[in-house]
Amino acid sequence: MTTVLFCNGCLWTKVKEEKTAQELADEGMYEFNKGNYQYSLEFFEKIKDWYPFSDLVIVAELKIADAHYNLKEYEEAVVAYEQFESLHPNNEQIPYVLYQIGMCFYEQMGSVDRDQTPARKTLHAFQKLGRRYPDSEYALKAECKVRECIKSLAENEFAIGLFYYKTKRYKAALNRFKAVISNYPDVGLNLDAMKNIAACESKLENIQAKLSSKDKKID
């Protein structure tokens, strides 16, 4: 497409290179496969902008999400994957999309003493995948990560219980140790949790006994 521009009696010819959707997809995939994810985004975005009714838009939408994921732009990736799921709920790539949403949160998980929101969101995403597509390869891949999330949540609960115990907040500690047993029974913390429950109950009984003794002296 040639655009003719007039300025002060002069004539310029500006050539606009307008590539086909397939050419943009090919170049986007080339850059993506080379690891140039930021550059690949430009090509996939152009497909969406220039050719909104092309069959390649679906490819572009998914690769945009993947590019953000590989750039560790997890919030942007989650938005893109969720948009894909919303727009194409019956697409064959949905199991992969759900897995990737979970992975975005998984990659943000920290140690057990950190905020466990990413672990909870990872668990929610992978459990959703398991419910909807239990036989998919991605559900199988997610299983070990589900166990990691549950273990992280349990160890966090246990660590908070220990903190409360050390700071003599025995009732709060007791509730945390009980939560470990009731919510996370299969992560190997039951025995330690039960020992700490007994310790908390003993401390609380001693405190109650001292209070009762003081009350009797007052009487």
- Classify domain 21-86 at the CATH topology level: 1.25.40
pLDDT at 11: 42
Contact of 146 with 127, CB cutoff 8 Å: yes
Q: Where are the domains of the chain?
A: 21-86, 92-214
Among 43-47, 100-104, 110-114, 144-148, the least confident range: 110-114
Answer yes or no: is pLDDT of 8 > 80.
Answer: no
119 vs 3, more confident? 119
Class of domain 92-214: mainly alpha
pLDDT at 22: 95
Mean pLDDT of the 152-181 span? 95
Distance separating alpha carbons of residues 59 and 32, to the nearest angstrom:
13
pLDDT at 128: 95
Mean pLDDT of the 71-82 span? 98
88 vs 10, more confident? 88
Tell me the per-residue pLDDT of 17-74, one tens digit each, with 9 for 90 and over: 688 999 999 999 999 999 999 999 999 999 999 999 999 999 999 999 999 999 999 9
pLDDT at 185: 87
The per-residue pLDDT of the chain, averaged, comes to 90
